[in-house]
Amino acid sequence: MEAGHLKKIWRYREFILSSVKREYQSKYQGSLLGSTWAVLNPLAMIFVYAVVFSKIMQARLPDSSSTFSYSIYLCAGMLTWSLFAEIIGRGQTIYLENANIIKKLKFPIGALPVIMLLNAALNFSIIFTIFIAFLLVSGNFPGWMILFFFPVLLVQLIFAMGLGLTLGVLNVFFRDVGQLFVIVLQFWFWLTPIVYPAEILPASIATYLLELNPMAAIIRSYQGIFVYSASPDWQGLMTPLFLGFLLCLLAMRLFTKYGDEIVDEL
């Protein structure tokens, strides 16, 4: 992103922050418990994963003796995949959903992805804080290895933003793109080792599945940190990082080239 665009976005920082606050408040407007639901919903989900899978179903990972190993494995994958899916889902409709604002208000269009990213980060920070609390209470906190979480998260955000914004531009001109990718995302989820360990797959399938799936390295890095206190797969993370930068550049290129046509199409 050019320095000029960054300066424009910075000048509209109050508009961005107020938009994030307004969207967050509107989610719980009219409910009796208000923003308390932002804590109760993820708390219930983590409770189900911890109690149902660990205590009732007694699910275990084959190479771990910890009672909560599978629950942590599942949470590490599900929570971070949900962040990815939210950014992709909102990114591919970002221009369509904000058509009225784009046409009526004068502000840098680049502010919309920032608003989208901050909203997704806010939602994720709440549920991730609860997850960390669960790790502390259950005695499974990964210690200083938690620091590796942040570079892995950065790689995921770059990849998700690049893919989401590229789909967002294409979806303006070809509305089938958004519908098709909803289906693609469902298959993508099950082709990523989130609810199952990759070790149960046949070696021939696992090799291609993990190498051709950029999200596999990201999810496995999270699971390695939180389940095994292991260092991320830095080499594997280079693929989604490279693709993320490439897709970000492509999205900016498409919007720069077809910006006027996008507004007309909306």
| Alpha-carbon dihedral angle through residues 22, 28, 29, 31, given to the nearest 10 degrees | -170
Contact (CB, 8 A) for 46 and 75: yes
The predicted-structure confidence for 107-140, as pLDDT tens digits, reads as follows 667 788 888 999 999 989 988 998 999 899 888 8
- CA 211 vs CA 78, 128, 160, 198, 264: distances in Å: 20, 27, 18, 12, 40
pTM of the entire predicted model:
0.88
Contact (CB, 8 A) for 219 and 192: yes
For 263, list phi and psi in degrees, rounded to 5.
-60, -40
The predicted-structure confidence for 169-209, as pLDDT tens digits, reads as follows 888 888 888 888 889 999 999 989 898 888 787 777 777 77
Q: What does the chain come to in residues?
A: 266
Q: Which residues contact 126 (CB under 8 A, 6 or more apart)?
A: 38, 39, 42
Contact (CB, 8 A) for 166 and 254: yes
